[in-house]
Amino acid sequence: MHTMHTAQESAEHTQLRQTIREFAAAEIAPNLSQWDRDRYFPVDVVRKMGELGLFGLTAPEEFGGSGKGLAALCVAVEELGRVDQSIGITLGAAVGLGINPLLVHGTPEQQARWLPDLVAGRALGAFGLTEPGAGSDASAMATTAELLGGEWVINGAKQFITNSGTGITSICTVAARTGTKPDGTAEISTIIVPTDTPGFVVEPLHDKMSWRICDTHPLTFRDVRVPEENLLGPRGEGFKLCVQSLNSGRVAVAALAVGCIQAMLDAAVERAGVRPTFGGPIGRKQGVAFQIADLAVMLEASRALTYRAAALKDDDAPLAEFRQAASIAKLYATESAVTATRIASQVFGGYGVMEDGPIARFYRDAKVLEIGEGTSELQRMLIARGLGLPVE
């Protein structure tokens, strides 16, 4: 194990890291190949993660959480992601997209109704933003919500929605057009939809190359009616709410990428030390050893950027500073993770592309890191804007 932690890692984070490492080794690792093949979502493991307090890391004690902040969540996501990326994103999305919008924008009534089960891991929340025709360009959203007789009536469809169809999913916060602003642009609002609401249809599971264990579905809304008080945050502020949720989510995805790079470094070092070629281990060849050295550099840089961004959030740094750091961490760590899986698979040779081995699974899983929670292209655009450039 070649874990290199930032010098500032607290004793509390180190203890959390060790707890999750032991949990992942015992509860997740032995079953991964089967779960991946079967596209099986392990609800029992999610519940155990809840009992460990992982879903409550960012929530205050009044809702059953521990209030430890984004950096602690990153430790958890990184360690889970070091064993399996799907389980890591299940936690990251449940907290970042299911719990945090309620924590930040929910009314006391909404929080009291939904948060205790979400924070305990007894239930999962989803966030319905992406659509078949609207990804990075959320302004192209076609899902509508009309206020009629004290109820929101929602019609439309969503795509690629994480944690939306599990047996314990309780709510989906849906972004929808609720009107047109004076300047002609769409008024976007967010509305909490309990998953047992008539007309809320969870379509068949997406068949994915990446994150096969993670629960990801298309959703359809057919005259879905929920009370007016299910509006989350002010009317018309839904786009801003989505963006705020994604900032922290990007840091969690960066932490997931760090877990991937760590796993690839560990595997590559071990394999290069024993794989025989031309009378000795392949790690004697500079062509191999230098690539693995680059992996170590990528790991250190990705981890430093990720935890710097998390610390800015936890320290209530100015939003613009945190947003920039989040995009930088997400961009660098995720692109590094894709490179890391390519290097590791090369070190393993033919075994690196066998589906019953972990390298191939990480290779498949890494690609989506450059897409989910804002593509690499979008991150570059945001970073450029943060520098003051007039980029479109």
pLDDT in tens, 334-390: 999 999 999 999 999 888 888 878 899 999 999 999 999 999 999 999 999 999 999
Q: Is the pLDDT of residue 285 over 60?
A: yes
Dump strand ranges (E) for 36-119.
none
C-alpha closest to that of 272 among 362, 360, 345, 366: 345
How distant, in Å, are the alpha carbons of 228, 235, 262 from that of 190?
11, 8, 37
The residues of the chain that CATH labels 2.40.110.10 are 126-236
Decide if 373 is catalytic: yes
CA separation for the pair 298, 366 (Å, rounded): 14
Which pLDDT band holds residue 2 (cuts at 50, 70, 90)?
A: low
Q: Is the pLDDT of residue 136 over 70?
A: no
How distant, in Å, are the alpha carbons of 15, 32, 94, 187, 205 from that of 134?
41, 33, 22, 15, 19
Residues written for the chain: 392
CA separation for the pair 59, 81 (Å, rounded): 21
Task: State the first-to-last Cα distance of the chain, in angstroms, to the nearest integer.
Answer: 44
Q: Is the pLDDT of residue 320 over 80?
A: yes
| Signed CA dihedral, 322, 327, 332, 336: sign only | positive
The pLDDT, as a whole number, for residue 315 is 97
CA separation for the pair 104, 244 (Å, rounded): 9
Q: Is the pLDDT of residue 1 over 70?
A: no
CATH number of 11-123: 1.10.540.10
Which pLDDT band holds residue 133 (cuts at 50, 70, 90)?
A: confident
Which residue out of 78, 373, 377, 392 is catalytically annotated?
A: 373
| Signed CA dihedral, 87, 91, 92, 93: sign only | positive
The residues of the chain that CATH labels 1.10.540.10 are 11-123
| In CATH, 126-236 is 3.30.930.10 | no
Token readout for 224 is 């879905």
Q: At what angle do helices 238-274 and 70-83 cross, to 10 degrees?
A: 40
Which pLDDT band holds residue 193 (cuts at 50, 70, 90)?
A: very high
| In CATH, 239-386 is 1.20.140.10 | yes
The pLDDT, as a whole number, for residue 283 is 84
